[in-house]
Amino acid sequence: MKREVDIVVISDVHLGTYGCHAKELLTYLRSIKVGTLILNGDFIDIWQFSKKYFPKEHIQVIHAILRMAEQGTKIYYITGNHV
């Protein structure tokens, strides 16, 4: 059973970098049902982005967020200095 949460703010994910904690984030996203998700900057790190490094877990985070949107979660994206 998923924990219901009204608002979640996620910041500085930096998908596409080696220091990203995508597995942990994916575990968290799969454990909640959220009404509003705010992606507060630096979701994908364009400065360090490389086509050679974008693991499946990073793609799974994106898919998890898209599924949330399909299920009615309101998603807001605020750009940061890394996009």
Q: Looking at per-residue confidence, does 67 or 45 come out higher?
A: 67
pLDDT at site 81: 79
Q: What is the mean pLDDT of residues 54-69?
A: 97
- Give pLDDT, residue 83: 55
Q: What is the mean pLDDT of residues 13-36?
A: 96
Rounded to two decimals, the pTM is: 0.90
Angle at 66 between CA 71 and CA 13, to 5 degrees: 125
Which domains occur in the chain, in start order? 3-78 (3.30.750)
For the cut 90, the answer to whether the pLDDT of residue 32 exceeds it is yes
| Mean residue pLDDT across the chain | 93
Strand partners, 36: 7, 74
